[in-house]
Amino acid sequence: MHYDPKPGHSVIIVGGGFAGALTALKLLDQTTVGLSITIIEPRAELGRGVAYSTEDPAHLVNGPAEIFSLYPDDMGHLSRWLAKNGPANGWQPPADVAASSPPRHLYGTYMRDELKRAAAEARSGSSLRHVRSQAAHLSSSPHRVRVATTDGTVLEADETVLALGVFRPDLRPDEAAVAGHPRFAENPWNAAALDRLSDSSDILIIGASLSMVDAIASMEARGFRGRYRVISRRGQFVEGRRNAEPARDFLAEGPLPSTARGLLARVKAERRKLAAAGEDWQGLPLAIRPHILPLWQNADDRERLRFARHLRPFWDVTAHRSAPESHRSVEEARSQGRLAHGTARLLALRPVRNGIAATLKTAAGIEETVFAGVIDCRGHQLHDWRQISDPFVRELLSSGEVRPHSTGFGIDATPEGDLINEEGRIHRNLSAIGHPLRGVAWESSSITEQRTQAIALAERILAKFTPARAPS
């Protein structure tokens, strides 16, 4: 075991994907004191995580570059960076860079390079260290937090941030028989798995959200000309993004609704007005999104769970739309009669001689159909920490350092992101950002929300190291 305490002001960030790297960037850019930051992340590059590790050029950021700058006070920063650095990274910027959706791998390069820049320009005495390992154990005291890694290193710091990202659910027992099967792509971003399916006659895609768009765009780029059958439990199907202007701020007219039913009534009334005026409904989620945090935090758990149970599928496909260039592949396959979508529930998967047999429950009853290939596009959507099999997540819960959020989404924390242990005590030196805060803030997965969280978190941490500094 190697013990590695850090003298002076120090922060450990567990997880070096987008949220963890962005937190480090904001700390380094804003600190006025020497600051030692250690990021525990097994990947070779910081800032990529799951979303930005894909090297497939068909996998695009699901929004225009003009809204995804790392610096909200300089929203043109990303567009300028893309214009300058895109060609050297294999991407030719279009004439209107600000309205474009760059490849996600390129956006990950932007995050990586900006973190390197922040580390190089940080105040004298500051440092950024990348420990390529995984966290195994965490213990906190009122003034220090200690984290042990799987390779035996023990790190200690004043503050620790959990930026653990997303987790895929394990295959159910009635699906486990196809694990490792050459005709089953458990991960829609696994290039080798998709390569094996390129000669298939037909493919079952489980899930109809953004991961489905990635899978179809990738398969079309590989020359696949077979048929897709896309299934989803609620029958929802993600749409491509149009450049609609935000609708009027209708939720600002009077008190925010306190129930899911009340919210739905307001939204449906506004959508009818938009339809009557011939305006694009895609402006509606843009008007709703700034109110999501107060809507969620002002609701009680009963209403939060009611929203999650009944309205979440509609919100997910309405708010999270795909880049136009990616969605074009979906629409072309559909127009050629090669894509069919319907409501169905997957009951089981099993290997057969010529592919994979899927047992589905549809409105017509139970059916079993054999497909030449299956792609699991349900995504990294396991938000209930009690069901996550990751050893560090299990250890955090069993040790009592954190507790599940009462909604079952993520872990419990204050509205600011300070974590709460199993006894209800608020940690003053242990915070979280991004996906672990799903139960606290609901929308915690997108670039814009994580950017806001990272800025606020960095200000709170630095205020402790420089008491005269007050968070803005």
pLDDT per position as a tens digit, 74-108 = 999 999 999 999 999 999 999 999 999 999 999 99
User: How many whole angstroms separate alpha carbon 43 and alpha carbon 54?
Assistant: 13
pLDDT tens for each residue of 38-76? 999 999 999 999 999 999 999 999 999 999 999 999 999
Contacts of 175 (CB under 8 A, 6+ apart): 346, 348, 349
What average pLDDT does the chain have?
93
The residues with which 148 forms a beta bridge, in sequence order, are 137, 154
pLDDT confidence of residue 379 = 74
pLDDT confidence of residue 368 = 97
pLDDT confidence of residue 412 = 97
Give yes or no for a contact between 124 and 64, defined as CB atoms under 8 angstroms apart: no
User: How many whole angstroms separate alpha carbon 189 and alpha carbon 170?
Assistant: 17
Q: How confident is the model at residue 165 (pLDDT cuts 50, 70, 90)?
A: confident
Q: For residue 310, report the phi and psi dihedrals to the nearest 5 degrees.
A: -105, -35
Mean pLDDT, to the nearest integer, of 364-372? Answer: 97
Mean pLDDT, to the nearest integer, of 243-257? Answer: 91
Q: What percent of the chain has pLDDT above 70?
A: 97
pLDDT confidence of residue 178 = 95
User: How many whole angstroms separate alpha carbon 285 and alpha carbon 152?
Assistant: 47
Mean pLDDT, to the nearest integer, of 233-242? Answer: 88
**210 is written with which tokens?**
């953004």
Q: What percent of the chain has pLDDT above 90?
A: 83
pLDDT tens for each residue of 111-135? 999 999 999 999 999 999 999 999 9
Q: For residue 305, report the phi and psi dihedrals to the nearest 5 degrees.
A: -70, -35
> Can you say whether the dihedral through the CA atoms of 330, 331, 337, 343 is positive or negative?
positive
The answer to which of 298-307, 313-322, 388-397 has the lowest mean pLDDT is: 313-322
3-state secondary structure of 200: coil
Give yes or no for a contact between 351 and 371, defined as CB atoms under 8 angstroms apart: no
Contacts of 366 (CB under 8 A, 6+ apart): 347, 359, 360
Q: Report the CATH fold assignment for 176-239+321-376.
A: FAD/NAD(P)-binding domain (3.50.50)
- Residue 140: CB atoms within 10 A of its CB come to 20
pLDDT confidence of residue 236 = 86
pLDDT tens for each residue of 378-428? 876 678 899 999 999 999 999 999 999 999 999 999 999 999 999 999 999
The residues with which 201 forms a beta bridge, in sequence order, are none
The answer to which of 4-18, 154-168, 197-211 has the lowest mean pLDDT is: 4-18
The residues with which 5 forms a beta bridge, in sequence order, are 156
Locate CATH 3.50.50.60 in the chain: 2-59+103-167+382-465, 176-239+321-376
| 8-state DSSP, 338 | -
Q: Are strands 159-162 and 9-14 parallel, antiparallel or unpaired?
A: parallel
pLDDT confidence of residue 380 = 64
Q: Where do the H-state alpha helices sit in 122-229? A: 191-197, 210-221
Q: How confident is the model at residue 168 (pLDDT cuts 50, 70, 90)?
A: confident
Mean pLDDT, to the nearest integer, of 426-450? Answer: 93
**Is 4 a residue whose pLDDT tops 60?**
no
Give the closest residue to 16 by CA, choosing from 403, 433, 404, 452.
433
Q: Using alpha carbons only, how large is the chain's radius of gyration in Å?
A: 23
pLDDT confidence of residue 470 = 54
Q: How confident is the model at residue 245 (pLDDT cuts 50, 70, 90)?
A: confident
Q: How confident is the model at residue 457 (pLDDT cuts 50, 70, 90)?
A: very high
The residues with which 189 forms a beta bridge, in sequence order, are none
pLDDT confidence of residue 111 = 98
pTM of the model: 0.93
- Residue 353: CB atoms within 10 A of its CB come to 6
User: How many whole angstroms separate alpha carbon 183 and alpha carbon 33?
Assistant: 54
pLDDT confidence of residue 444 = 87
pLDDT tens for each residue of 322-360? 999 999 999 999 999 999 999 999 999 999 998 999 999
Q: Which CATH class is domain 2-59+103-167+382-465?
A: alpha beta
**Is 226 a residue whose pLDDT tops 60?**
yes
Q: How confident is the model at residue 21 (pLDDT cuts 50, 70, 90)?
A: very high
**Is 156 a residue whose pLDDT tops 70?**
yes
